[in-house]
Structure 1
Amino acid sequence: MLGNLKDQPADKILALMASYREDPRAEKIDLGVGVYKDAQGNTPIMRAVKEAEARLLKSETTKSYVALAGDPAYAKALSELILGDALAADRMAAVATPGGTGAFRQGVDLVRMANPDATFHVSAPTWPNHLSILKTVGQPFVEYRYFDNATGEVDFDGMMEDLGKVASGDVVLVHGCCHNPTGANLTEAQWEAVADLIGERGAIAFVDLAYQGFGDGLEEDATGTRILARKLPEMLIGASCSKNFGIYRERTGLLMGLCDPAHVKTVQGNMNHLNRQNFSFPPDHGARIVTTILNDAELTADWKAELEEMRTGMLALREQLAAELRRLTNSDRFDFIARHRGMFSRLGLSPEQVEAIRKDFAVYIVGDSRINVAGLNEETVPKLAQAIAATYE
């Protein structure tokens, strides 16, 4: 039977990582993998995380399972961080999941249980694993226009025109902030318009929130999600703590479902059921780290301070890169890089240009020209700018 299996297509980012490791050139630069790095190229453990883990080591008395939904204190703390004053606890069901990926997969399965015929409307482009998961489970999806490669900005008119075709009961998947892979975000006024349109069409919003705090700040990055929560009767939110808490390998996510209070118990029961079927009990160590930090004022303050250092550091790199490219190309073609937010920006280069940059300059970029800004430092920014300018001419 197992001999009947067929090879699966290689993950392009993982394949790029393998090529990078095999490259003997000392000056090589990795801008492919989607992991935050400091100026020394390390992915650090945040100070508050270290302290929270030390406290847990002293206080934990068991490694027994938690509930199917995970620790309620974790769901409460993280949902308050995300939704703020837009949170109505009597409207929310939530389950802990293995990372943001687990939250998205559980949310897709929940939609399939509620409405198997629902079509997902997904931004073009989006995180590749969104499409891979939808294809794997056989859930229909279509793309809506989002990013204009020529300008490096959101194609909002195209987006609204496409979303105007959404049917009642469909799902509109949006990135809460720091759009992956483009870095181009909606304005507050645009979020308001999107929320109104989704409501008019009788659709449900599904927010993927993986980078809160990496864009314009913790509160600012939650703006779009909170607008949707206030305006729409139902929505799903898949949140990840991998980036903003730096706990990638702990696989710490949360799926939230907002609905009529009369339906919360049933929604919660279905979420619990899906956890039981897919992995039984969710991982807990990362969730307890997050809960410990968010429930302690001193740890929260230290975490926010370090997160802000990370955020402003990436903004400085963006501004440096945009300025360097402006100098080298004598144009404002790449000024959008400074306006983008989060770890990623799509440069609008062709696959041939990306390959030339890899071959001639040892700079590794995903084929669609997405770069991980956090993979840069002050010394490597000029090298990247030179590579882009040489290929762009």
Structure 2
Amino acid sequence: MFETLKQQPADKILALIQMYRDDPRDNKVDLGVGVYKDATGLTPVMRAVKAAEMQLWETQNSKAYTGLAGDPAFGDAMVDLVLGGSVPRANVAAAATPGGTGAVRQAFELVQMARPDARVFVSNPTWPNHLSILAYLGMEMVPYRYFDEETRGVDFDGLIADLKTAKKGDLVLLHGCCHNPTGANLNGAEWDEVIKVLLETGATPMIDIAYQGFGDGLQEDAAATRKVAAAVPECLIAASCSKNFGIYRERTGLLMVVSADSSAQALNQGSLAYLNRQNFSFPPDHGARLVTMILNDAELRADWQAELEDVRLSMLGLRSQLAAELQRLSGSDRFGFIGQHRGMFSRLGTTPQMVEKLRADHGIYMVGDSRMNIAGLNAQTVPILAKAIIDAGI
């Protein structure tokens, strides 16, 4: 049977990890893996998560299933965190998933179940797993212009022109904040224009929000998602808790389906429960339980928000330091975009050949499309990276 299987393409980031591990150089810098790291290179367990785990260990008396859509309290807490009352809770169907990736996968399957011929508009570039899942499901993808290679900002005119070709029954995939892999985000006025196009075309938006709190702040990063959800007849939202709660390995996410009124909620909720049952039956609960405890406890929530803000400010500080060091070394402001980008990532906007030169000559590891994880830096490695970029002739 299995002799018919074909070797699948190697994951480029996993291959990069192994190359980094095998590199004997002491001054090597890992900017490839998409996880937050502190100044010591550790991805720490957040204080509030530790405290919630201790409480849970003391009080939890059963590991029985919660429900096909997970604990309703988790859905309530996350809907409030992401949507903040921008739409009535009764209009939102929600289901827990194994991480934000699980939410993305379930969203695509829901669209495929409802509209088998739906086209999915994806930003160019986007998170590679978006493309991989869509290809696996056999769904038609339509790229829309997003990243301007010259300015390293958003090609907004191209984006709007491409989105205007969408139609009712199509899905438009948007990043709620901290665009991955570029770090370049839409501003408020640009989001208004996107909403206008969505209303004109009748296409349905899907928002992937994986970095709430990593960009401009917890509320600020949710503003675009809330604006879209309040303006359009229906939308999908895939939310991740991996980054802002630091619980990567607990695989904690939520898929939301927002409708214009509460009459569609029961059908949407039943469809989400059905899809969960087909794919993994009951979703994992440990991470979801911790998130629920933190969001519903004033003291834990305040400590979590304070630590999350420290994380955000740390990444902004690294961005500012890198942009300033590159300006000093280059004598120009052509790298100012790094300070303007938000979230964990920036796309340097150079060729795969230059990325390989950075690795071979300077021990700088980043993805071939020049996406670099800003959180992989610290105050000591910023000057190393800046010098390598200039020496490489970027």
Task: Quickly name the TM-score band, shorter chain normalised.
Answer: over 0.9
Within 5 A, what are the aligned runs for 1:5-16?
5-16=5-16
The alpha-carbon deviation at position 321 of structure 1 amounts to 0.3
Alignment match, 1:50? 50
Cα deviation digits, residues 315-355 of structure 1 (max 9, x gap): 00000000111111111111000000000000011111100
Within 5 A, what are the aligned runs for 1:293-304?
293-304=294-305
Counterparts of 1:334 and 1:391, CA distance in 2 = 14
CA contact (8 A) 1:79 1:87 kept: no
Counterparts of 2:146 and 2:393, CA distance in 1 = 24
Give 2:277's aligned amino acid: R
Q: Any stretches of 5+ residues in structure 2 without a counterpart?
A: none
The 10-residue stretch of structure 1 (370-379 or 77-86) with the greater mean CA deviation from structure 2: 77-86
Alignment match, 1:284? 285
Counterparts of 1:347 and 1:276, CA distance in 2 = 42
Counterparts of 1:117 and 1:239, CA distance in 2 = 25
Counterparts of 1:373 and 1:141, CA distance in 2 = 29
Alignment match, 1:199? 199
The alpha-carbon deviation at position 87 of structure 1 amounts to 2.9
Counterparts of 1:98 and 1:39, CA distance in 2 = 29
The alpha-carbon deviation at position 148 of structure 1 amounts to 0.4
Within 5 A, what are the aligned runs for 1:173-252?
173-252=173-252
Within 5 A, what are the aligned runs for 1:1-393?
1-259=1-259, 260-392=261-393
The alpha-carbon deviation at position 167 of structure 1 amounts to 1.2
Quote the sequence identity (%): 62
Partner SS state of residue 243, structure 1:
coil
Aligned residues: 393
Cα deviation digits, residues 273-313 of structure 1 (max 9, x gap): 00000000000000000000000000000000000000000
For normalisation by structure 1, the TM-score amounts to: 0.99
The alpha-carbon deviation at position 360 of structure 1 amounts to 0.7
Counterparts of 2:230 and 2:263, CA distance in 1 = 17
Partner SS state of residue 206, structure 2:
strand
Partner SS state of residue 255, structure 2:
strand
For normalisation by structure 2, the TM-score amounts to: 0.99
Give 2:244's aligned amino acid: N
Give 2:157's aligned amino acid: D
Partner SS state of residue 120, structure 1:
strand
The alpha-carbon deviation at position 195 of structure 1 amounts to 1.0
Give 1:329's aligned amino acid: S
Counterparts of 1:161 and 1:149, CA distance in 2 = 18
Cα RMSD (Å): 0.7
Counterparts of 2:68 and 2:329, CA distance in 1 = 56
Counterparts of 1:11 and 1:67, CA distance in 2 = 33
Counterparts of 1:367 and 1:329, CA distance in 2 = 23
Counterparts of 1:177 and 1:34, CA distance in 2 = 15
Partner SS state of residue 346, structure 2:
strand
Give 2:309's aligned amino acid: E
